[in-house]
Chains A and B, each alone.
Chain A
Amino acid sequence: MTRDVERISALQGAGGELMGRLLKEHVLSRFSRRSAGRIGLDQLDDGATIDLPQEGEVVITTDSHVVKPIFFPGGDIGRLAACGTLNDLAVMGARPLALTLGLVLEEGFPIGDLERVLDSLDGVLVEVGAALVAGDTKVMGRGELDGIVINTTGLGVAAGPGGRAIGDADFAVGDRVVVSGTIGDHGMALLASREEFHLESSLRSDVAAIWPAIERALAIGGVKAMKDPTRGGLAAALNEMARKSQTCLEVEESAIPVRDEARALADLVGISPLDVANEGKAVLIVEAAKVGDVLAALRSHPLGQDAALIGEVTSEYRGRVVLSTGVGGRRFLEMPLGDPVPRIC
């Protein structure tokens, strides 16, 4: 017996009564925190207001998400959409205040899936104490879009010393390189879940909003730069930081925390955990004198429990990243090119 799955219809995309009902019953009702100022989501006004604290630079960021599959081990596109944007704010040193949500849905998209995705997104907002204050929903015809596209724009306020946001390149020779936890989890989990590989694994995405752990690190002081190693992984993030700052980042392979299962998969398909996305991690460049305390602060939070010192900023090969390999060799850690393809034979 087939049960009729309730699905998005083209009519709902047309605005008017049906759209209104869709929003009310299936979208707006999913969110627990709906305002960050006088005018919020409930007012369904043309915009929302945000109460800002007295000081601190305002930081804004945006991301669109098209991840497939939309439900993956450890998370889904909703969680990813929230964490991606909130983590961009976090690594700028900004406390997240509010999120907007742009949804584009394919006609026929199951409403149950939509609710699951939005619930996930809401869960993250509750975790960090931010609100969903504005949004937009559109429907495209069957086949014109693959399922769902989500855009989130996030707004936060710099919470570090002097209210200054923290960039990704303002550091110097002698500073230390830290990662907030295990590397490669999200990318390797998604790789393992790809049907064509016929693999079973217990790998799960690390997708999480890391502000609560970063906040503790910032309170110590000495954090000079941060970046979230998403697409292209740790290798891409380190290379971008090295290029922009025109310094050399020298890291120790054996110091980079990698889960055993991620390593096992890496050996199997010939793709490095350093080259794949992380969705719940940060790279921090920290003043040498403060790095011990910063590590302790990160480790005091579950999201930073595997934080590790992995290297140092030098001037040997400016603009490059050098890896000291576990066996005692040395090579450049390069910017990965495009989507990693498994080696087979």
Chain B
Amino acid sequence: MCLAAPGRVIAIAGNEATVDYGGVRTSARLDALGEPVAVGDYVLVHTGFAIRRLSPEDGEETLRLFDELLASLQEVPRPPRAGDVGEGR
């Protein structure tokens, strides 16, 4: 239900932005975004409307979250539980 793609804003004209997804461009309406957006920002677009502004730092933050989880599991020794061993791979 959520097909929304992130793209980069390359132009803005009033209520509409031109968004580039890596060689493919569409226009997206900005009236449902609720925050200012500038050329160079990334937006998440769903059925022709921008719903969220993203920045590449958000992307890096995502990777940090993944890595944080992985690191936390390495620190804590896994308590042994019955039925765990060799299951399900």
A345-B1, A345-B3 known; A268 and B24 CB under 8 Å?
Answer: yes
Please indicate which of the listed interface residues B1, B23, B25 has the most CB atoms of chain A within 10 Å of its own CB.
B23
Please report the number of residue pairs spanning A and B whose Cβ atoms sit closer than 8 angstroms.
45
Q: Which one of B21, B24, B25, B26 has the highest number of Cβ atoms from chain A below 10 Å of its Cβ?
A: B24
Query: Out of B3, B23, B27, B46, which one reaches A264, CB within 8 Å?
Result: B23
> Which of B1, B26, B47 has the most chain A CB atoms inside 10 A of its CB?
B26
Task: Please report the C-alpha to C-alpha distance between residue A311 and residue B42 in the assembled complex, in whole angstroms.
Answer: 36
Is A2 among interface residues, defined by CB-CB distance under 8 A?
no
Q: How far is the CB of B7 from chain A (nearest CB, A)?
A: 8
Question: B83 to chain A: which residues have CB within 8 Å?
Answer: none
Is A202's beta carbon under 8 Å from chain B?
yes
As a 0/1 sequence over residues 10 to 33 of chain A, the CB contacts with chain B under 8 angstroms (1 = contact) are 000000000000000000000000
* Contact, CB under 8 Å: B46 / A345: yes
Q: How far is the CA of A8 from the CA of B3 in the complex (A)?
A: 46
Is the CB–CB distance between A268 and B5 below 8 Å?
Answer: yes
Report the nearest A residue to B22, measured CB to CB: A264
Whose C-beta in chain B lies nearest to the C-beta of A202? B23
Q: Which residue of A lies closest to B4 (CB)?
A: A345
Pick from B22, B26, B46: contact of A263, CB below 8 A.
B22
Q: How does the 8 Å CB contact mask read for B1-19 relative to A, with 1 for contact and 0 for none?
A: 1110100000000000000
A343 vs B1: C-alpha distance when bound (angstroms): 9
Contacting pair B24 A201 (CB below 8 A): yes
A203 x B46 contact (CB < 8 A): no
Structural contact, B25 and A200, CB atoms closer than 8 A: yes
Report whether B3 and A203 are in contact in the complex, using a CB–CB cutoff of 8 Å. no
Q: A270-B3, A344-B3 are in contact. Are A199 and B47 (CB under 8 A)?
A: no
CB closest residue in chain B, given A343:
B3
* Distance from B13 Cβ to chain A, minimum over Cβ atoms (Å): 14
The verdict on A198 contacting chain B, using a C-beta distance below 8 Å, is yes
Query: Complex formed: what's the CA distance from A200 to B2 in Å?
Result: 22
Q: Are A261 and B1 in contact, with the CB atoms below 8 A? A: no
Are the CB atoms of B26 and A198 closer together than 8 Å? yes
Nearest to B27 among chain A residues (CB) is A198
A201 lies within 8 A of B23 (CB): yes
Chain A 32-70 interface mask (CB, 8 Å, partner B; 1/0): 000000000000000000000000000000000000000
Report the separation of the CA atoms of residues A345 and B51 in the bound assembly, to the nearest whole angstrom: 13
A345 contact set on B, CB distance < 8 A: 1-3, 46-47
For residue A261, which residues in chain B have a CB less than 8 angstroms away from its CB? 22-24
In the complex, which residues 20-38 of chain B have their Cβ closer than 8 Å to any Cβ of chain A?
21-27
Q: Could you tell me the distance between the alpha carbons of A258 and B69 in the complex, rounded to whole angstroms?
A: 32
> Which residues of chain A have C-beta atoms less than 8 A from B24's C-beta?
192, 199-201, 203, 261, 264-265, 268
Cross-chain contact B23 with A268 (CB below 8 angstroms): no
- CB atoms of B27 and A203 under 8 A apart: no
- Residues of A within 8 Å of B5, CB to CB, are 267-268
Given A201-B23, A260-B23, A267-B21, 7 more pairs with CB closer than 8 A: A197-B26, A200-B26, A201-B25, A261-B23, A264-B22, A345-B2, A345-B47
Binding site for A on B (CB under 8 A): 1-3, 5, 21-27, 46-47
Shortest Cβ-Cβ A-B pairs, 10 listed: A261-B23, A264-B22, A201-B24, A200-B25, A264-B21, A265-B24, A264-B24, A268-B5, A267-B5, A202-B23
